[in-house]
A and B are shown apart, each in its own frame.
Chain A
Amino acid sequence: MKALIVIALLGVVTMMSEVFRFKKLLLPLVVVGLLAACGLAIGDWNTAIRYYSDMVYFDNYSLAFTSLIIVLTLLWLIISKGYFVSDSSRAEHATLILFTLCGGVIMTAYSDLSMFFVGLEILSISLYVLASSNKHDLKSNEAGMKYFLMGSFATGFLLFGMALIYGAAASFNLVKIAEYVQTTAAHGQTPMFVYTGVLLMMVGLMFKVSAAPFHFWAPDVYEGAPTLITAFMATVVKTAAFAAFYRLFSTCFGDISGFWAQTLAVISAVTMLTGNILAVSQTSLKRMLAYSSIAHAGYMLMAIVAMNKISGGAIFLYATAYSLGSLGAFACLHAISKYGDESIENLKGFAADNKIWAGLLGVIVLSLAGIPPVAGFFAKYYIFYGVFQSNFTWLVLVAILSSLIGVYYYFRIIITMVQPRSEKATVLPALTGAHKALLLISALLALGIGIYPAFLQGLLS
């Protein structure tokens, strides 16, 4: 809870920086504030307190995800310095990022559907603006608009779903809803409109995590938004959305999982196949990463399908491994795409110029592809194992096949970067210290988690 307050206050303070002219202090302020928030969140470990008549509930699950998204934001800040130092609207950017994060924290910790909705909207509305924050770029404007239109559309379904659930349980409180669902399910008297409500909420959430067939916004928005914002969306926002999704379904609807699990399993399979198959034919690295993030959403949905005692830890491990990998990959993308061309061909000759950094990028790509001994492999392993235990063997098979497709395009990154530079290609901008630092940190963390995955996995099991 303290972490949430710190972040919200920080957002307000940064907004003032324009008026009270301390914009130079912006970045240090944000970093120190976030470090403090992270420390406070970790300090609350094992306390599990309910706040404000049970509106938010900071248990270990939400504390773990809160710390994770704060750490990811800090890592993201490494390459986003320019965004807070030179840009003319830097104060607004900082505020919006902090409010997004604030929404994210609420989404990991809500204990009431109204709170969930508030968190989701704080996060989404800030993001709509951030996506179109490159005001002079038509594509960025288009991305923001598209995201806003489709996001509102999906929010409608979510609200419908909530209303139906409220109609049945007469409460927004997760605990009360869970009790209601449990008693009615035990007597086999769950009303039809509860089922409908669950499905409609699922639709709304699936939009947020970009599951097929609600993923269409993702490639366009990811491509149009400024690369840094895309990186933020693909990591911090996606992690928060999954935290909310898993929290809702594991708390409330576990007892009627027979009803929705099969549907979600199919959606998860379709999502990972769509993401991976479409990524194969992309020529833009940014778009490829967008599809890759859709595919990863498919894998993370598997943990919600499995819904057993190891899935909480598994989804946390997966979100960490995936976000670290994506941050590293986006750092590289950001470094090479300064001239506006995001084609994967630009990577040619990358390894010859930057041996060490190409090696680290290789580690990151291996993690995303799920090759041992890097983090991504163990993340997949625990997810698959949980799904296997819940008797969705066919889903595991589909997931393995689709991972094979994934290897194809991930390895294309490695193959391209060791190829000699083509004559036409422009000389790449050199990696800056910030990009190197983020690459190094994310690769080392990916390796570290790969050596000792049980630590993160065990936090929530």
Chain B
Amino acid sequence: MVQFAWLIPMFPLLGFLLIGLLNKRLPVSLSGGIATLMVFLSFIVSAVIFGEVAQDGSVPERVVLFDWISVGDLSIPFSFLIDRLSVIMLMVVTGVGSLIHLYSIGYMHHEQDHPRYFSYLNLFVFFMLLLVLGSNYIVMFVGWEGVGLCSYLLIGFWFKNIDYSNAAKKAFIMNRIGDLGLLLGVFLIYTTFGSVGFREVFESARNFPENSEAITAICLLLFVGAMGKSAQIPLYTWLPDAMAGPTPVSALIHAATMVTAGIYMVVRSNVLYVLSPDASEIVAFVGLATAFFAATIGLKQNDIKKVLAYSTVSQLGYMFVALGVGAYQTALFHVITHAFFKALLFLGAGSVIHAMSGEQDIRRMGGLKKALPITHATFLIGTLAIAGLPPFAGFFSKDEILAKVWEHSPVMFIVLAVTSVLTAVYMLRLYWLTFYGDFRGTENQKHHLHESPATMTMPLVVLAILSTVGGFIGMPEVFHAPHFLNEFLAPVIWKVNHHEASETFEYMLMGISVVLLLLIMFATYNTYVTKKVMPEENDKDLQGFAKLVANKYYVDEIYEAVITKPLNGISSFVYKYIDQGFIDKLVNGTGTSLTGFSGVLRFVQTGNIGGYIFSMVIGIIVILVLTMIL
């Protein structure tokens, strides 16, 4: 069955072509159905392959489709790698992907442009599958670029709104900066190891000494790529703006799958990162800073999707901390649970927005519990999962990260623990403000409130179940239950630095986090429901730190002043004096003289045979004289 792995990306590609080419000729209701079916078919094939690999798949299998690029010593086959890491990613991408496709049918039914939406969504899944399936950095890079393109297309889905298309451009450009880093990293990999295939690179890397310059440079360059795609400091500002896209897109691309590509890439390259503790330290530090700063910004956001966006940035930071301390399985564990609960939260938010007729400001919501029972229940599960209440999925993965970080550095642990407190605060604030209290929207909205259709609630329920039980694949050691994920991933992780954490510490950590969480629940309930404290209507009324946070530390403004403005200045200077003044004249001059020359030369073509034969004879004489005599 592994030989049929090419079917997995084939289905969404087929869907993209079918929907994209037939476009408006398809019946309106059909495009969503086709798109969902295609991803679901991939899911089935993935599941079968997953089953096979789980049984006896400790040996990675390479499926070569065709020789793609072959020049000199460089040979890059278009091939897939089926191992335990890629099958897990396949399951997450196609599983969560098909749920979100299904959800989109209901969410987008008011829209005019169905086929465009669904064809892009299918194309995204295709590229994401290429990304996780590729058996070398180049195929992965194709997927990497492709998902960036689809992200751009879908953020700007409502391109008639200038803000939205600006957000799309911002995402694209920020990602390009990262992609450049990745590309340089891949070039350096090729010059260092003479290959870009995962197997060959990692095999020869094992003979390198620790912290060698080349490997550290490669790791850092790859990490720059990850910073862009997975929204880490300093390249994170595009992700909150990316919320301009339709909500299911935010769920699929900007929460569950694409943004975790950076983490997947680092886990895939774990051999290199193990060999470069210096680079790993930087990864951990950047992740920690991102987790903390994004969480503080989340405290003061009032747009339901923006809160979730900053929370995504923060959670991605968590994963990078785990990667930085060498806990690769744990990072992937969090990728999986995060995919469940964050997709759930986004889809829940989408359901809320759908019910509120497009309103996204939580200051205009409140009391939605009654009108949206299923959305409420599932959103609550999502909130508890991300806040880290046992037995929901987020608790296990987050706890494992905290435990691993404690082994690495207590200072980092404290910052990360504070971050998880902040996470609980902003998520519960969001929850209380949205679902409890009095309804604060307009009469019209109140009249229109309704639970979403079954195509939307069904994915919510499935994701809620996954967010509840998903954590059991990785039970903490102290429970003496098997940690399925660690065992499953063991063949693809090179060196696992395993320390027995003391049982007392683990229990203490769990106990404290549960107690703290309950305290936060109580406190936030008290503030937002009992005392009905509302966020300020206008950010200008805020003071001090709150104002700084509400304005996202003015990072966008700083980038604007420090990078964009000077760049624009330089570029307009270059445009005016160098481009227009010099290069244009040179190019146009060449063009004009060429056209003139061509016009003159055509008169040689007289149509007179005598002339032609004469010039042929001259030509022959010149050739003979030049070659024979000179």
A interface, CB within 8 angstroms of B: 146, 149-150, 153-154, 157, 192, 195-196, 199, 203, 207, 212-214, 216-217, 219-220, 259-260, 262-263, 267, 274, 277-282, 385, 405, 408, 452, 454-455, 458
Residues of A within 8 Å of B591, CB to CB, are 408
> Which single member of A219, A263, A280 contacts B595 (CB below 8 Å)?
A280
Instruction: List, sorted by A's number, 7 A–B pairs whose CB atoms are closer than 8 Å.
Output: A149-B613, A195-B628, A203-B620, A220-B605, A220-B607, A259-B627, A454-B69
Verify B613–A153 contact, CB threshold 8 A. yes
Residues of B within 8 Å of A196, CB to CB, are 624, 628
Chain A binder among B6-14, B275-283, B368-376, B596-604: B596-604
Main SS of the interface on chain B? Answer: helix
- In the complex the two chains form, what is the Cα distance from A279 to B628 in whole Å? 33
Verify B71–A214 contact, CB threshold 8 A. no
B208 CB within 8 Å of chain A: no
User: Shortest beta-carbon distance, B59 to chain A, in Å?
Assistant: 28
- In the complex the two chains form, what is the Cα distance from A259 to B69 in whole Å? 34
Chain A residue, CB-CB nearest to B615:
A213
Q: Given contacts A196-B628, A260-B627, is CB(A278)–CB(B605) below 8 Å? A: yes
- In the complex the two chains form, what is the Cα distance from A408 to B587 in whole Å? 12
B469 CB within 8 Å of chain A: no
Verify A146–B609 contact, CB threshold 8 A. yes
Chain B residue, CB-CB nearest to A385:
B71
Most buried by A among B69, B594, B615, B623: B623
Verify A454–B67 contact, CB threshold 8 A. yes
Q: Given contacts A278-B605, A454-B68, is CB(A216)–CB(B624) below 8 Å? A: no
Verify B67–A263 contact, CB threshold 8 A. no
Residues of A within 8 Å of B615, CB to CB, are 213, 216
Sample of 12 further A-B pairs with CB below 8 A, known A274-B601, A278-B601, A454-B69? A149-B613, A150-B612, A150-B616, A154-B616, A196-B624, A199-B628, A217-B612, A263-B626, A277-B601, A280-B594, A281-B602, A452-B68
Verify B598–A280 contact, CB threshold 8 A. yes
- In the complex the two chains form, what is the Cα distance from A196 to B618 in whole Å? 16
Verify B623–A203 contact, CB threshold 8 A. yes
Verify A263–B597 contact, CB threshold 8 A. no
Residues of A within 8 Å of B67, CB to CB, are 454, 458
Residues of B within 8 Å of A153, CB to CB, are 613, 616
> Which single member of A146, A199, A260, A281 contacts B598 (CB below 8 Å)?
A281
- In the complex the two chains form, what is the Cα distance from A279 to B613 in whole Å? 22
Chain B residue, CB-CB nearest to A260:
B627
By Cβ-Cβ distance, the 5 closest A-B pairs, closest first, are A213-B619, A216-B612, A281-B598, A280-B598, A454-B67
- In the complex the two chains form, what is the Cα distance from A216 to B66 in whole Å? 44
Residues of A within 8 Å of B497, CB to CB, are none
Verify B624–A214 contact, CB threshold 8 A. no
Chain B residue, CB-CB nearest to A263:
B627
- In the complex the two chains form, what is the Cα distance from A282 to B602 in whole Å? 9
Residues of B within 8 Å of A279, CB to CB, are 598
User: Shortest beta-carbon distance, A165 to chain B, in Å?
Assistant: 16
Most buried by A among B66, B615, B619: B619
- In the complex the two chains form, what is the Cα distance from A216 to B613 in whole Å? 9
User: Shortest beta-carbon distance, A103 to chain B, in Å?
Assistant: 23
User: Shortest beta-carbon distance, A204 to chain B, in Å?
Assistant: 10
B70 CB within 8 Å of chain A: yes
Q: Given contacts A278-B598, A278-B602, A452-B66, is CB(A199)–CB(B613) below 8 Å? A: no
- In the complex the two chains form, what is the Cα distance from A146 to B628 in whole Å? 31
Verify A281–B68 contact, CB threshold 8 A. no
Q: Which of B560-615 contact A (CB under 8 A)?
A: 591, 594-595, 597-599, 601-602, 605, 607, 609, 611-613, 615
Residues of A within 8 Å of B70, CB to CB, are 454, 458
What 1/0 flags go to B74-98 for Cβ under 8 Å of A? 0000000000000000000000000
- In the complex the two chains form, what is the Cα distance from A154 to B617 in whole Å? 10
- In the complex the two chains form, what is the Cα distance from A452 to B70 in whole Å? 11
Q: Given contacts A199-B623, A220-B605, A452-B66, is CB(A277)–CB(B597) below 8 Å? A: yes
Verify B616–A216 contact, CB threshold 8 A. yes
User: Shortest beta-carbon distance, B143 to chain A, in Å?
Assistant: 16
Interface size on B, residues (CB 8 A): 30
Verify A214–B619 contact, CB threshold 8 A. yes
- In the complex the two chains form, what is the Cα distance from A18 to B349 in whole Å? 79
- In the complex the two chains form, what is the Cα distance from A263 to B620 in whole Å? 12
B interface, CB within 8 angstroms of A: 66-71, 591, 594-595, 597-599, 601-602, 605, 607, 609, 611-613, 615-616, 618-620, 623-624, 626-628
Chain A residue, CB-CB nearest to B599:
A281
Residues of A within 8 Å of B609, CB to CB, are 146, 149-150
Most buried by B among A154, A278, A279, A405: A278
Residues of B within 8 Å of A195, CB to CB, are 627-628
User: Shortest beta-carbon distance, A332 to chain B, in Å?
Assistant: 22
Q: Given contacts A213-B619, A280-B594, is CB(A199)–CB(B627) below 8 Å? A: yes
Chain B residue, CB-CB nearest to A145:
B609
Verify A157–B620 contact, CB threshold 8 A. yes
Verify A213–B618 contact, CB threshold 8 A. yes
Residues of A within 8 Å of B626, CB to CB, are 263
Residues of A within 8 Å of B611, CB to CB, are 216
- In the complex the two chains form, what is the Cα distance from A219 to B598 in whole Å? 15
Residues of B within 8 Å of A263, CB to CB, are 623, 626-627
Residues of B within 8 Å of A216, CB to CB, are 605, 611-612, 615-616
Chain A residue, CB-CB nearest to B619:
A213
Q: Given contacts A146-B609, A150-B609, A385-B71, is CB(A405)–CB(B594) below 8 Å? A: yes
Chain A residue, CB-CB nearest to B618:
A213
Residues of B within 8 Å of A207, CB to CB, are 616
Chain B residue, CB-CB nearest to A281:
B598
- In the complex the two chains form, what is the Cα distance from A217 to B613 in whole Å? 9
- In the complex the two chains form, what is the Cα distance from A194 to B257 in whole Å? 69
- In the complex the two chains form, what is the Cα distance from A282 to B595 in whole Å? 10
> Which single member of B595, B612, B620 contacts A281 (CB below 8 Å)?
B595
Verify A213–B601 contact, CB threshold 8 A. no
Verify A150–B613 contact, CB threshold 8 A. yes
Residues of A within 8 Å of B71, CB to CB, are 385
User: Shortest beta-carbon distance, A265 to chain B, in Å?
Assistant: 12
Residues of A within 8 Å of B620, CB to CB, are 157, 203
User: Shortest beta-carbon distance, B77 to chain A, in Å?
Assistant: 10
Most buried by B among A153, A212, A216, A454: A216
Residues of A within 8 Å of B607, CB to CB, are 220
- In the complex the two chains form, what is the Cα distance from A164 to B248 in whole Å? 78
User: Shortest beta-carbon distance, B146 to chain A, in Å?
Assistant: 14
- In the complex the two chains form, what is the Cα distance from A216 to B605 in whole Å? 7
- In the complex the two chains form, what is the Cα distance from A192 to B66 in whole Å? 49
Residues of B within 8 Å of A260, CB to CB, are 627
User: Shortest beta-carbon distance, A402 to chain B, in Å?
Assistant: 11
Most buried by A among B71, B609, B618: B609
- In the complex the two chains form, what is the Cα distance from A263 to B619 in whole Å? 12
Chain B residue, CB-CB nearest to A270:
B619
Chain A residue, CB-CB nearest to B591:
A408
Chain A residue, CB-CB nearest to B605:
A219
Chain B residue, CB-CB nearest to A381:
B71
Q: Given contacts A150-B613, A213-B619, A216-B616, is CB(A277)–CB(B598) below 8 Å? A: yes
Chain B residue, CB-CB nearest to A213:
B619
- In the complex the two chains form, what is the Cα distance from A70 to B385 in whole Å? 67
- In the complex the two chains form, what is the Cα distance from A192 to B626 in whole Å? 14
Residues of A within 8 Å of B601, CB to CB, are 274, 277-278
- In the complex the two chains form, what is the Cα distance from A281 to B601 in whole Å? 9
Chain A residue, CB-CB nearest to B611:
A216
Residues of A within 8 Å of B623, CB to CB, are 199, 203, 263, 267
- In the complex the two chains form, what is the Cα distance from A196 to B598 in whole Å? 34
Residues of A within 8 Å of B602, CB to CB, are 278, 281-282
- In the complex the two chains form, what is the Cα distance from A262 to B609 in whole Å? 29
Chain A residue, CB-CB nearest to B65:
A452
Residues of B within 8 Å of A405, CB to CB, are 594
- In the complex the two chains form, what is the Cα distance from A244 to B627 in whole Å? 23
Verify B594–A277 contact, CB threshold 8 A. yes
Residues of B within 8 Å of A146, CB to CB, are 609, 612
Residues of B within 8 Å of A274, CB to CB, are 601
